[in-house]
Homo-oligomer: A and B are copies of this chain.
């Protein structure tokens, strides 16, 4: 019997991570729902917007760490809301202090507040500084394969291209660019932003991504906790499908002279 399959550990920055689904903590009704959804997702890595979330900066206020315990989850501080390299670097230095020297971070430097598209020039600058300071940088980026490679060359530990705009739920708009990045990267490629539904997550994994990070797709579903579970299954399904090796597509007689040839060549 060829099943169960061989081990397929997810290695990130030298650590083995138990789930390929990474989740955010924003946009939930309350901290209790956050806790339930994160739990249902099975995620180990949970990302936290340092500028928006209290993880100890504001003593006396509700603290995310009360429901997402650092003993159980790997917290991934992120720089949501930062528009310059300088802001992002400062924010992550603060996070490191708050989290007792924690080095694994998610860098995002945004281009503007309307699109939340990354500013790649500032992102490159911030990545360089952070890596020099010993951070392990997972980096939100565009799907530009040349710049993705440059981030890898700088020493980032994971490349995190957007599938579509943050919070848009539009799915993977350009699987071709993502594919080029995947074919070349030696470090994990994790789709970050744009996933809207379970099949989007499965598609990302079937393209060969190492993981998927999402927040809105779960938090803004009608039933977030159920959606968290659906996403966990979808990531697993997509990964297993990728490993199993899909059948080739066989369009009807796509000969060179066929009217269909333009569709698939």
Contact = CB atoms under 8 A, between A and B. Distances in A.
User: How many subunits of this chain does the assembly comprise?
Assistant: 4
A contact residues, range: 35 or more
A7 interface: no
A12 interface: no
A223 interface: yes
A90 to B, nearest CB: 21
Nearest to A224: B244
A42 interface: no
A234 B241 contact: yes
B240 A179 contact: no
A223 B227 CA distance: 29
B121 A246 contact: no
B240 A230 contact: yes
Contacts of A264: 249, 264-265
A177 interface: yes
A174 interface: yes
B247 A240 contact: no
Contacts of A198: 202, 206, 237-238, 240-241
A129 interface: no
Interface string A96-118: 00000000000000011011011
A196 interface: yes
Nearest to A167: B250
A47 interface: no
Interface in A1-48: 1-3, 5, 36, 40
Given A2-B36, A111-B145, A197 B265 contact: no
A224 B118 CA distance: 40
Nearest to A142: B144
Contact of A244 (B118, B145, B223, B249): B223
A158 interface: no
Given A176-B252, A207-B262, 12 more contacts: A121-B124, A199-B241, A208-B259, A216-B247, A221-B245, A222-B244, A222-B245, A227-B240, A227-B246, A230-B241, A233-B240, A248-B256
20 contacts: A2-B36, A3-B40, A5-B223, A111-B145, A121-B121, A168-B251, A174-B174, A175-B260, A196-B246, A207-B259, A207-B262, A221-B245, A221-B246, A224-B244, A226-B240, A231-B237, A233-B234, A233-B240, A234-B237, A250-B265
Q: Closest 8 A-B residue pairs measured CB to CB? A: A222-B245, A111-B146, A198-B241, A233-B237, A226-B244, A227-B244, A230-B240, A234-B237
